[in-house]
Structure 1
Amino acid sequence: MFLFIVKRLVLLVPVFFVVSVVVFLIIHLVPGDPIDNLLRAGSSTAQRVQIAAKYGLDRSLAEQYFVWMRRLVSGDLGTSIIQGRPVGALIAQNLPYSLQLGGAALLFSALTGIAAGVLAASFHGTKLDDGISGLILLGSTVPSFWLGLLLILVFAVWLGWVPISGARGWTSLILPVIATGIGGIALVARVTRIAMIETARQDFVMLLHAKGLSPAIIQVRHVLRHALVPVVTILALRIGWILGGTVTIEYVFARPGLGSLLIRALNQRDYPLVQACLLMLAMAVILGTLLGDIIQAAMDPRQREVRS
């Protein structure tokens, strides 16, 4: 197991550099630059050149990338061009809000999705199964930002049960968590249902029935335990995707967080801040995949042998 984890960590090094190149090129190849947000109307060309030289924007893309990477490896995320503050401090200020929302959404989608999948698999082929499957299909097709706007309209504006926006207390988390986690519920429930139906057809399950065990005990203690291997992998992958999904949700609900910070930085073409935010979101997906591989290998030794 130790060698398996080491191999996975070593593979992250080239992936990290490829992701860093992609992130760097994405923001620098988009039209516009932060100088437009720093210059006043009627500023001269000389002033533009002076500002570009100050922030190293007059260098070639290759030089800018290597300077950024050298600082990044040493732990320096740079300084925000527009705000003039260290990027690390800005991210540290906003990241807890995103982690709070992402963690709550992941827990919500995991518990609800597994419960829905178990219920659908337990009543496979019945109207209840068809109803849950229909809701799963509907939930997987609804855009999170549209659902967020609908939830605001109904529960915040019409009913007044929860705050419309902001991050004031736990009640302000309810609607963003539902909007972020609903897609995860559909995915987890679908995977749980399929995995449990396939596991229930295995020979060892027939043997358990022959021994006279209760169907409920067989479903929960044995079938669900074996079916959780792909579910855990999906949940690990959702760690990164949920953090990415909070970008639009934080904007819709006007919440502080990494998403709101990224959107503001994109509008201002604040290169260091955008690069750091995008890199963190990309690495969250990669680390989520790594975590899923490790957990899956720990739960199923056969996977460890196949992936080694």
Structure 2
Amino acid sequence: MIIYAIRRIMMLVPVFLAVSVIIFLILHFLPGDPIDNLLKVGAPPEQRTEMMARYGLDRPLPVQYAIWLGKLITGDLGTAIVARRPVLDLIAQALPHSLALGGLALAFSTIVGVGLGVVAALNRDRIIDRVVMGGVLFGSTLPSFWLGLLLILAFSVGLGWFPVSGARGWNSLVLPVLTIGLGGTALVARITRVSMLDAAARDFVMLLHAKGLSPAAIYLRHVLRHALIPVVTILALRIGWILGGAVTVEVVFARPGLGTLLIKALNQHDYPVVQASLLMLAMAVMLGTLLGDLLQAAMDPRVRGALL
């Protein structure tokens, strides 16, 4: 297992380098630059040239990337050009809000999704199965930003149960968590149902019936355990996507977090902040993929044998 984990971690190195190059180039090919937000209207060209040299934006792109990557490896994310603060401080201030939102949304989608999937599988081809699957299918088609606006209209503006925006108190997390978690619930419920039905058709289930075990014990103690292998993989992959989805949700609910920081930095063309924010989101996806593979390998030895 240790050898498998080391090999999977080493496979992330070229992926990380490729992602860093893409993030760096995309930003520098966009029109505009952060100097436009610092200069006053009618500033002389000499002042612009001086500021470009101060922030290293006058150097060739390969040189800029090499300097940025070298600092990144040492843990230096640079200094925000517009905010004039260390980028690491801005990330450290915003990341806990995104992690709290993403963690609660992941827990919600896991508990509710697995529960609905089990109920649907135990009532296969019955009315309950059709209602549950129809509901989760409908929920998976709703865009998160539109669902967030509907929840605000219903529970904040209409009923006044929860605040419209901000991050004050636990009640400000309810609507954003529901907005992100409902989409993941639909995916987890479908995967759980399909996996349980597939596991229930295996030979060991017939043997358990022959031993006289009750259907509830067979499904909940044995079938569900085998069915959770693909579910765990999906949940690990959802870690990165939930943080990415939190970008739009944080903007809709005006919450402080990585998404709000990213959108603000994009509007200002603040390269160091945007690069660090996008890199954090990309690393969340990569680490989620790594965690999913490790958990799947721990639960299924065949996965470890495929790579060793």
Into which bin does the TM-score normalised by the smaller protein fall?
Answer: over 0.9
State the partner residue of 1:174: 174
Q: Which residue of 1 aligns with 2:299?
A: 299
Give TM-score scaled by structure 2 length.
0.99
1:137-216 correspondence to structure 2 within 5 Å: 137-216=137-216
Residue 277 of structure 2 is matched in structure 1 by 277
* Partner in structure 1 of residue 111 of structure 2: 111
- In the TM superposition, residue 82 of structure 1 has moved relative to its aligned partner by 0.3
How many residues align? The count is 308
Give the equivalent residue in structure 1 for 2:268.
Answer: 268
- Report what 2:6 is aligned to: 6
In the alignment, the residues of structure 2 paired with residue 117 and residue 25 of structure 1 have an alpha-carbon distance, to the nearest angstrom, of 43
Unpaired stretches in structure 2, ≥5 consecutive residues: none
For residues 138 and 29 of structure 2, the distance between their equivalents in structure 1, rounded to whole angstroms, comes to 37
The one-letter amino acid of 2:4's match is F
Where does residue 252 of structure 2 map in the other structure? 252
In 2, Cα distance between equivalents of 1:121 and 1:186: 14
Q: 1:217 and 1:139 mapped to 2: Cα distance?
A: 30
Provide, for residues 154-182 of structure 1, a one-character-per-residue CA deviation record: whole Å limited to 9, x for no partner. 00001000111100100000000000111
Query: Percent identity at matched positions?
Result: 64
Cα distance in 1 between the residues matched to 2:26 and 2:142: 28
Output the CA distance in 1 between the equivalents of 2:258 and 2:23.
16
Does residue 225 of structure 2 align to residue 225 of structure 1? yes
Alpha-carbon deviations, 1:121-169, whole Å to 9, x = none? 0001111111111111111110000000000000000100011110010
Cα distance in 1 for partners of 2:169, 2:307 equals 44
Alignment correspondent of 2:37: 37
- Tell me by how many angstroms 1:45 deviates: 1.1
- Structure 2 counterpart of 1:68, which letter? W
Greater displacement, 203-212 / 106-115: 203-212
Q: Which runs of 4+ in 1 moved over 4 A?
A: none
Q: CA deviation at 1:197?
A: 0.4
Amino acid at match of 1:279: L
1:69 matched to 2:40: no
Distance in 2, matches of 1:290 and 1:131, equals 35
Query: Partner of 1:233: helix, strand, or coil?
Result: helix
Deviation at 1:14, TM superposition (A): 1.0
Note the C-alpha offset of 1:307. 2.9
Aligned to 1:96: 96
Kindly state the Cα deviation for residue 17 of structure 1 after the two structures are TM-superposed: 0.6
Q: Give the aligned CA root-mean-square deviation in angstroms.
A: 0.6
What TM-score results when the alignment is normalised by the length of structure 1?
0.99
Taking the aligned partners of 1:136 and 1:176, their CA distance within structure 2 comes to: 18
Give the superposition deviation at 1:101: 0.2
Structure 1 distance, partners of 2:156, 2:219, is: 40
Moved more, 246-255 or 8-17: 8-17
CA distance in structure 2 between the aligned counterparts of 1:298 and 1:11, rounded to whole angstroms: 18
Question: What one-letter code is carried by the residue in structure 2 that aligns with 1:63?
Answer: V
